[in-house]
Amino acid sequence: MAGRLFHYNTLGTLMKGGFDGTFSFNEVLENAGIGIGTVDQLDGELVVLDQHGYCFDVEGQIHEVRPEETTPYAAVIDFVPENKQALAKGINKDTLEETLANQFSSKNVFQAVKIHGTFNKIKCRSVEKQEKPYPDLVDVAKDQAEFTAENITGTLVGIYTPKLFGTISATGFHLHFISDDHSFGGHVLAFDIDNPTVEWQTVDTVEQKFPTENETFMDTDFDYSSVLSDIDKSE
């Protein structure tokens, strides 16, 4: 069954310093099987799994987000996988993404993805909490903290975005990770995994919500001229 992706704000706005949390996790997590995003003031990387949100900060610490906490950007879906497949032993991020994309019913629509397995090695990142005046995300990413784990079992969740929607979300795969013991995670940079189990769901509806009650968002004339190249550098 094709699914409905709920998208709060756009990655393009986040790229241009829209870091204020303007939407509560009480609403984000209501129908969220899996998802990705961040938290207020860009204070970590968000992983949503089974209607729970987990934030990994720049120190590598994790906390479960509270309902009253807020987000400037999130993409979540009530995940009901249409497809499930076991992939080959010893597959890296680039090869897995290429293999999976070739299995999609179409590369012109969003796809929600969940991958579980034991990772020989995985590298993740997080970023530091930001203070106003906010910089562009491409500048924040220059000082990102990177973490590596080996022989760790966990879950990748994420969204595949077609090129047509490249300013809403990062084109291609945008994946976040959480280990089974909730000790490690973040935005995924690279990995090598043995015998992953891959599930995915085609998205036929996108609900796009904007922060219309936030004066900064409504009144700021964001300069989007470089947003696509900035996303490539940051994501």
The tens-digit pLDDT sequence of the chain (235 residues) is 789 999 999 888 898 899 999 999 999 998 799 999 999 999 999 999 999 999 999 999 999 999 999 999 999 999 999 999 998 888 999 999 999 999 999 999 999 999 999 999 999 999 999 999 999 999 999 999 999 999 999 999 999 999 989 878 889 999 999 999 999 999 999 999 999 999 999 999 999 999 998 887 888 777 767 766 777 778 7
Domain that holds residue 102: 3-234
**CATH number where 115 lies:** 3.30.1330.80
Q: Where would I find the beta strands (DSSP E) of 65-184?
A: 70-71, 74-77, 83-86, 91-92, 111-126, 145-161, 172-179
pTM of the model: 0.95
Distance CA 21, CA 157 (A): 22
What would the two tokens of residue 75 be? 């993409």
Q: How many domains does the chain have?
A: 1
Of the chain, the end-to-end C-alpha distance in Å amounts to: 29
Of residues 110, 105, 113, the one with CA closest to residue 84: 113
pLDDT at position 228: 66
